[in-house]
Amino acid sequence: MKLIEVKNLCRHFEIEGVITKALNGVDFTINKGEFVAIMGPSGSGKSTLLHILGFLDRHTGGEFIFDGRKSNEFNDLELAQLRNKAVGFVFQSFNLLAKSNVLENVKLPLMYSDIPEEKWDEIAKKCIDDVGLSHRTNYKITRLSGGEKQRVAIARALVNNPKIIFADEPTGNLDSKSGQKVMEVLEDLNKNKNHTIILITHETETASHAERIIRLKDGKLIKDEKVSKRRTSKDFIK
């Protein structure tokens, strides 16, 4: 079932009369339950595309259809609700509250939900367990490794049970071993818990965990292909 459709999608910026075409006629579909990587060099448009798909920005041409509804039909309140409930974000820089512990960070999005407060701890602890960090639940963020911080960020992205998770260069600040663990968590969320994941990366090895790779260059989609040999956690077992 289709979750995302983009048709001739464009995002043009005008600064002092000069037009920059960050996205210029992009077309693709992402189904529910897919794991898709978006790749491209700096300036290719992948960050702009992420911002549009995550309801952080609006396109200037074409169509973006989310779960059967055109994005330009959503008002500001509906967009805010979508950002909180329908999508989860995982960023390269973690964006965690350093003075708070793991549990407090993970349940933060629930404060803006309609879920009763007495259920927050239970929901957050389940998400912490899903990323393998139950033994760190009450640890301050400053006591965690980089890889553990990113897994906390993933748990926080999961806490409102979003329809889609956007992972923007999630291994960019990590060593190879920590990055591997983060990708194993995302792999498990997709394969065993059926979460739709869109991964933004410039690393071919990281992208190979996905089912599909969409490649951008100069604001255009130049290739959309299935991964012939999908990398999995088993590839790392010695």
Q: How many CA atoms lie within 13 A of 59 on its CB side?
A: 26
In 3D, which of 93, 95, 82 has the Cα closest to residue 54?
A: 82
The sign one gets for the Cα dihedral 95, 99, 102, 104 is negative
Location of structure tokens 């410039």: 202
Q: What's the pTM value of the predicted model, to 2 decimals?
A: 0.91
Which residues have CB under 8 Å from 165's CB, separation 6+? 87, 88, 89, 90, 154, 157, 158, 186, 189, 195, 196, 197, 198
How do the pLDDT tens digits run along the chain, 238 residues long? 999 999 999 999 998 889 999 999 999 999 999 999 999 998 999 999 999 999 999 999 999 999 999 999 999 999 988 998 999 999 999 999 999 999 999 999 999 888 999 999 999 999 999 999 999 999 999 999 999 999 999 999 999 999 999 999 999 989 999 999 999 999 999 998 899 999 999 888 899 999 999 999 999 999 999 997 776 655 544 3
